[in-house]
Amino acid sequence: MPEGHTLHRLARLHQRRLAGSVVRVSSPQGKFAAGAARVDGQVLTKAEAWGKHLLHHYDSGLVVHVHLGLYGKFSESELPMGEPVGQVRMRMIGAPQGQPGFGTDLRGPTACEILFAPEVSALTDRLGPDPLRRGADPDRAWHRIRRSRRPIGALLMDQQVVAGVGNVYRAELLFRHRVSPHRPGTALTDGEWASMWADLGALMRVGVRVGKMVVVRPEHDHGEPSYSPDRPRTYVYRRHGAPCRLCGTPIAHQVMEARNLFWCPTCQPG
């Protein structure tokens, strides 16, 4: 599932290439036809991301909410766009003044729906702080973590605790700070959380800037094959049984709350 940096990159792209112009919205597949008709021909005023949620704000006050889920993906194209290929849930076409025309097709999302302002507020209110949003308050997450007996490996994946963190950032952040994913939230110190929050924000900002996850420090990167979009170089994520980059211990794996978990038993004891 795409993590928060991917949604923020999409929001920035759509803001730059579509915002401020009349946007033609359609649903070639038909599943979003009624919603598309409600915003078709309106001005897109803002595109933004909250965690793993993408929001398109229109001048009518209506908002298109997209959650990509496991299979959702946008594909971009200059104009003119060709005939839709595959199951295109939503097609957007715009041409801001002074810029070349731009179009994008959305396929396979978990959610693509129209929301009103109160529904948008309800959505964002139930999310934890997003490290990529200006003014995000890490104390909101810390307030929940330090009172919970759930393992920190589960808490980091809870979007009501921290918005935008997925399986890769969860595993890599815990390794980088030598924290066992099984440690209860109540056993984490405020200093550890402050350091983790700062590092998480820095890692995710790199992801937004370069379009890929960069989590391994240069001194620990031993000349492995270059990054691939399907499998970033990591310390522990998807390295079950491989030697730890730091100590050589085989990387461990288990399922925690229905998601695959990876960690080094030596570097992350407990």
Residues with active-site annotation: 2-3, 52, 259
DSSP lists the bridge partners of residue 104 as 76, 92
What residue has token string 């691939």?
228
**Token couple for 236:** 């522990």
Characterize 110-149 residue by residue with b for buried, 16 or more Cβ atoms within 10 angstroms of its Cβ, and e for exposed: eebebbeeeebeebbeebbbbbbbeebebeebbebbeebe
Q: How many CB atoms lie within 10 A of CB 79?
A: 11
Residue in 168, 181, 177, 268 with CA at minimum distance from that of residue 227: 168
What residue has token string 């959702």?
72
DSSP lists the bridge partners of residue 48 as 55
CA angle 48, 2, 42 (to 5 degrees): 30
